[in-house]
């Protein structure tokens, strides 16, 4: 598993792709692998305010439910509605088609608290050891 170097990561295994004052959020390859076959993703509608480290959605595999935690605060500008029909995208392409929401940051400084790809990989290595 290679974590794309241009993304920022959280200890809850979410990633953010920063594009100016907005960003795209998803879960990492490691997270999807741990969860197994994803069968359902519940996401907030556009316009919803989300807060860093707080729950913004849920992700379900056949026999587990996990909460999705926001890496940063902001307002949801778009949710990935295609996951309703093809939740398997999260397994197949976690950094691409499996994205979850796009947000407009309310405090871009929060991004500084997130991990780089190298830091994240060291983190999961330590966690699974």
For other proteins, the closer CB: 23 or 87: 87
Is there binding between residue 1 and other proteins (CB under 8 A)? no
Alpha-helix runs per DSSP H in the chain: 29-35, 89-92, 117-128
Count Cβ atoms below 10 Å from residue 40 Cβ, excluding itself. 13
Structure tokens at 94: 């976690």
64 binds other proteins (CB under 8 A): yes
Q: How far is the CB of 82 from other proteins (least distance, A)?
A: 13
Report CA 47 to chain centroid distance, whole Å: 18
We find the least distance from the C-beta atom of residue 46 to other proteins, in angstroms, to be 19
Position among 37, 92, 119, 127 found at the interface with other proteins (CB under 8 A): 37
Sequence-distant (6+) residues with CB within 8 A of 10 are 69, 71, 114, 115
DSSP code per residue over 79-90: E-GGGGT-TTHH
88 contributes a contact to other proteins by CB under 8 A: yes
Q: Which stretch binds other proteins (CB under 8 A): 2-10, 16-24, 57-65, 121-129?
A: 57-65
Could you say which of 63, 109, 112, 128 contacts other proteins (CB under 8 A)? 63
Based on the shown chain and the rule CB under 8 A, indicate whether residue 60 belongs to the binding site for other proteins. Answer: yes
Nearest CA to 71 out of 3, 7, 15 is that of 15
- Summarize as ranges the residues that interact with other proteins (CB under 8 A): 36-37, 39-40, 60-65, 86-88
């Amino acid at each position: 598993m290679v974590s794309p170097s241009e993304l920022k990561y959280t200890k809850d295994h979410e990633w953010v792709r920063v594009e100016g004052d907005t960003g795209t959020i998803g879960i990492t390859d490691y997270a999807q692998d741990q969860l197994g076959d994803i069968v359902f993703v519940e996401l907030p509608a556009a316009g919803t305010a989300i807060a860093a480290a707080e729950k913004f959605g849920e992700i379900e595999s056949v026999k587990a439910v996990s909460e999705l935690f926001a890496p940063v605060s902001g307002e949801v500008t778009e949710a990935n509605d295609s996951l309703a029909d093809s939740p398997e995208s999260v397994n197949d392409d976690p950094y691409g088609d499996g994205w979850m929401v796009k947000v407009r940051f309310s405090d871009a400084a929060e991004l500084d608290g997130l991990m780089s790809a190298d830091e994240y990989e060291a983190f999961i290595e330590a966690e699974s050891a």
